[in-house]
Structure 1
Amino acid sequence: MRIAGTYCRPEADEDAYDDLKTLARRGDRQEMADFKIDLRKAIVDPSELPEWELYREVQFDDGSTEKFLRRLWRDLYPDEPVPEQR
């Protein structure tokens, strides 16, 4: 979730989230392929994330970690269904 903390935190540049979307759609970087795998795992089982760690980094206002992760997936991979939780 380091990538989310880098591109989604409040202190990030205004265009950082758009940059993340571009990186995610290019798919030519192993780091982004690994991020997608980790994001999928976090959506399927959010209990695997250390409690509040993501919120501290990103300070999302979605209401819950699960909602933030699902929104992030939809924003980054709009042509793919959001993974289902267990």
Structure 2
Amino acid sequence: MHRPEKFWRTEPDAPFATLLRAVEAHCHPEAYDEAYEDLQSWARDADTEEMRVFKQELRAALRDPSQVPEGALSTAAQYGDGSDEKFLRRLWRDLYGDEPVDPEAG
């Protein structure tokens, strides 16, 4: 199914919408100066439903990046990592360090 560009802004229940909103707000080059650092703090300190959903969606995206609608991550982040998978791996590492993506694997 084709989704409109930046669908996560208007479809809050769309697949990966929480992840994409956070990525756009905190990882995009036009985000405010301390945005990425704020995301790191939020990931480390917050125990909210939104952060639980974000982490769950990030895990799912890492397990199978093809499940994220095509072009959505690159639009949200404008990353320079070369691929969705590389961006997602860097994001996980920056936010959660050595924590395993799959909690049962750790």
| 1:82 to partner: Cα distance | 4.0
Partner SS state of residue 70, structure 2? coil
1:43 Cα deviation (Å)?
0.4
RMSD: 1.1
Structure 1: state its 5+ residue gaps: none
Say whether the 8 Å CA contact 1:70–1:82 is kept in structure 2.
Answer: no
> Which residue of 2 is the match for residue 72 of structure 1?
91
How far has the Cα of 1:57 moved from its partner? Answer: 1.5
On the 8 A contact 1:7/1:20 being kept in 2, the answer is yes
Residue 62 (structure 2) pairs with residue 43 (structure 1): yes
Deviation >4 Å, runs of 4+: none
Q: Percent identity?
A: 54
Q: Tell me how many residue pairs correspond in the alignment.
A: 83
Aligned-partner SS, 1:74: helix
Q: TM-score, normalised by structure 1?
A: 0.90
More relative contact order in 1 or in 2 (CA 8 Å, sep 6+)?
A: 1
Q: Distance in 1 between matches of 2:93 and 2:43?
A: 11
Which protein shows a greater Rg? 2
Cα displacement (A) at 1:18:
0.2
Q: Does 1:29 align with 2:48?
A: yes
TM-score (norm: length of structure 2): 0.74
Contact 1:74 1:82 (8 Å CA) reproduced: no
Q: Deviations over 1:32-58 (max 9, x none)?
A: 111000000000011111111110111
Larger mean CA deviation between 50-59 and 64-73 belongs to: 50-59
Q: Which residue number in structure 1 is paired with residue 3 of structure 2?
A: none
